[in-house]
Amino acid sequence: QVQFVQSGAEVKNPGASVKVSCKASGYIFTNYAVHWVRQAPGQRLEWMGWINPVNGNTHYSQSFQGRVTFTRDTSATTAYMEVSSLRSEDTAVYYCTRDLFGSSEPFEHWGQGTLVTVSS
Amino acid sequence: EIVLTQSPGTQSLSPGERATLSCRASQSVSSSYLAWYQQKPGQAPRLLIYGASSRATGIPDRFSGSGSGTDFTLTISRLEPEDFAVYYCQQYGSIPKTFGQGTKVEIK
């Protein structure tokens, strides 16, 4: 079965960086784009963008362009999301999910979420 | 960017009652690429409805979706105790893929 297992919760100081991992299993990793979604406390879900595992091409939502970087390791079927220059507003749960690359699909399978807390 | 506005913000109902949730888009959602998700505290969202009206795998038939263009509705025909949660709509036909702000269905 399709499964995403994300790395554990993180607590970071303002200005630091954080890298969240998302280990995929149960499907052909390179057939699907990996998307990232952020949810700040009590807020709506925000789509951050995607990465194409085949070639590493990325697309970032305008709201997240500049401090967010998506990468992947195809041999490990793992996607990564890094946020640099962390601010208190980056405190949120970050989810990974997928859709069939090149198509419009809803997000049926989700990781369990990774809570990132930014606090001094 | 397509902005999705959900109403009401909170709906207080009793088990067995009918819930009707609305999602309005700022522009037409292409090919009815509109989904509904359920989210409970501490959990990831769960896909309920896609294509505006198709139930996802394993979703009970008390959940139904309707609508097209800019107006969409999620209906829960008879609320079960496990249905009290927050519901989000999402359009996935254009970039950025946007979500509504959510409707909380709480126990009256």
pLDDT in tens, B84-106: 999 999 999 999 999 999 999 99
Q: Which of A35, A44, A95 sits opposite B101 (nearest CB)?
A: A44
Listed in sequence order, the residues at least 6 apart from B84 whose beta carbon sits closer than 8 Å to its beta carbon are: B105, B106, B107
Whether the pLDDT of residue B31 is over 90: the answer is no
Mean pLDDT of chain B: 96
pLDDT at B30 (0 to 100):
83
Positions in chain A whose pLDDT score sits under 70: none
Q: Cα–chain-centroid distance for residue B9?
A: 12
Q: Write out chain B residues lying below 8 Å of A101, CB-based.
A: none
A21 beta partners: A80
- The sign of the CA dihedral B81, B82, B83, B87 is positive
A86 three-class SS:
coil
pLDDT at A107 (0 to 100):
97
How distant is the Cα of A100 from the closest Cα of chain B, in angstroms?
Answer: 12
A44 touches chain B (CB under 8 A): yes
Whether the pLDDT of residue B44 is over 80: the answer is yes
A89 three-class SS:
helix
C-alpha span between A58 and A35 (Å, rounded): 10
C-alpha span between A46 and A27 (Å, rounded): 25
**In chain B, whose CA is at the least distance from the CA of A107?**
B47
Whether the pLDDT of residue B11 is over 90: the answer is yes
**In chain B, whose CA is at the least distance from the CA of A48?**
B96
Share of chain B above pLDDT 70, in %: 100
- The sign of the CA dihedral B21, B27, B28, B29 is negative
SS3 readout for B21-38: EEEEECCCCHHHCEEEEE
- Is there a contact between B47 and A108 if contact means CB atoms under 8 Å apart? yes
Share of chain B above pLDDT 90, in %: 97
Cα–Cα distances (Å) from B14 to A7, B23, B51, in that order, read 38, 22, 29
Which phi-psi region, left, alpha or beta, contains residue A66 (left: φ > 0; alpha: ψ -120 to 50)? left
pLDDT at B71 (0 to 100):
97
What is the tens place of the pLDDT at every residue in B52-79?
A: 999 999 999 999 999 999 999 999 999 9
How many Cβ atoms sit within 10 Å of the Cβ of residue B74?
A: 28
How many Cβ atoms sit within 10 Å of the Cβ of residue A78?
A: 21
A47 touches chain B (CB under 8 A): yes
Give the type of residue at A110: W
**In chain B, whose CA is at the least distance from the CA of A113?**
B44
Confidence of residue B46 (pLDDT cuts 50, 70, 90): very high
Kind of pairing between the strands at B71-76 and B98-99: unpaired
Nearest to B97 by CA among B50, B58, B53, B64: B50
Confidence of residue B36 (pLDDT cuts 50, 70, 90): very high
Nearest to B92 by CA among A111, A45, A68: A45
